[in-house]
Chains A and B, each alone.
Chain A
């Protein structure tokens, strides 16, 4: 049982490049979400999904796309990276979208956009 996994751990991009941050969980969790962590601002919700095929925007969705074709995977896409997207990105999951249980976080991806 690996929990929530994220790849890559580190990434450096140039402005305008695209990339996908991968997130997977093996706990059959319905709810998955993406947060970004910036100094002095805590974590902010980017997008979330309450189940396969269903996604919605969080607090800071601009510049990011998501899809949820399977229960296990919830990739985050940056179509045209900007320096403002330099951040640490966390994926999280919990058993159900109606759950107030603990959310399980992945180890994070540190992204730098030059």
Chain B
């Protein structure tokens, strides 16, 4: 079974600064997918960024980028130029690729979450 660990329960950063959230995972799969989701106080789960394990290039989405270290099974999220609206809980998640006849369809395994607070 896969496990996802976020070792930072809470983080804080000043507006306009950069912050990095950590995530490690454990799997025996060679191909898989990793995600960062944002959950603001509204509770809505919002996809921030995704990474396919077979792609060596780190994914980026505007101010959000990841540092994917496959050998180390590490998947950290870097938020540049932090904004007040980035205040939220952030979840790292893992998905195995679907396989015919298996039971892994679309299952996301989540980490415990990191509460990020951006201070003005």
Contacts and interface: CB of A to CB of B under 8 A. Distances in A.
B47 interface: yes
A99 interface: yes
A30 B91 CA distance: 24
Interface in A86-114: 88, 90, 92, 94, 97-100, 102-103, 105, 107-108, 110
B110 A43 contact: yes
Contacts of B97: 100
A97 B106 contact: yes
A42 B33 contact: no
Interface in B92-120: 95, 97-98, 103, 105-108, 110-113
B5 to A, nearest CB: 10
A3 to B, nearest CB: 10
Interface residues of B, number: 26
B11 interface: no
B44 A43 contact: no
Interface residues on A, range: 20 to 34
Contacts, number: 64
Overall SS of chain B's interface:
loop
Contacts of B44: 105, 107-108
A43 B4 CA distance: 11
Contacts of B46: 105
B91 A99 contact: no
A92 to B, nearest CB: 8
Interface of A: 31, 33, 35, 40-45, 48, 50, 56, 58, 88, 90, 92, 94, 97-100, 102-103, 105, 107-108, 110
9 contacts: A41-B112, A42-B4, A42-B110, A42-B112, A92-B45, A97-B105, A103-B47, A107-B42, A108-B43
